[in-house]
Amino acid sequence: MIIKQLGRAAYVPVEAAMRAFTEARTPDTPDELWLVEHDPVFTQGLAGKAEHLLLPGEIPVVQTNRGGQITYHGPGQITAYPLVDLRRLGIFVKEYVFRLEAAVIQTLDHFGVVGHRVAGAPGIYVRLADPGSHAALTGPARDPFKGLGKVAALGIKVTRHCSYHGVALNVAMDLQPYARINPCGYAGLETVDLVKLGVSTDWATVAEIFGERLKAHLSP
């Protein structure tokens, strides 16, 4: 897998480049992993509902063909786009999602933060009161996000067995834009970053670790 650091970039041209790469690739095309820090943007997935976009203000809203609802991308967030031939890797979509989330969990663990999965809600969550706790989640069924914050969001597209779009991990962001949406369609869900969780680090440091964990999980 070839890892490419794209630096700071607008969302629309990167999405167009992902589609072009995926449409042009052949069974022999090496997989790539793009790591990027986007300019502020809200992106709406195929399942997105207008009522989850509360007050976008000056931040542009882009309709995409990935799965999921609405999310925010902005400076201080690592957005990772694995461009992977899943058939060549020998896995299906469910396993692919599991591996993306595993890479996030292992990256968080490097910084002393424990990431959790919530059934039926793709992405990775942390305990707000105790980000280092390994205790199993026991939130009430009526409010599975009680006491949790979302630190990573996931939205993918697979066409002809090849993936694009991907996963975003929050490092050191202005989190205010998340108050303008229902993140991933969940009203009141708090979104956090590593800095808010008490981790002192920077984008480049986390991106290197995250990129290597993704490469390990997505290479034969």
Catalytic, 184? Answer: yes
Catalytic residue among 97, 113, 169, 184: 184
Query: 154: which 2 tokens?
Result: 């996931």
Separation between Cα atoms, residue 155 and residue 166, nearest integer Å: 5
On whether the CB atoms of residues 23 and 39 are closer than 8 A, the answer is no
- What is the residue-wise DSSP string for 32-92? EEEEEEEPSEEEE-TT--GGGB---TTS-EEE-SSSSSEEEE-TTEEEEEEE-BHHHHT--
Compute the chain's Rg from CA coordinates.
16
Active site residue ranges: 184
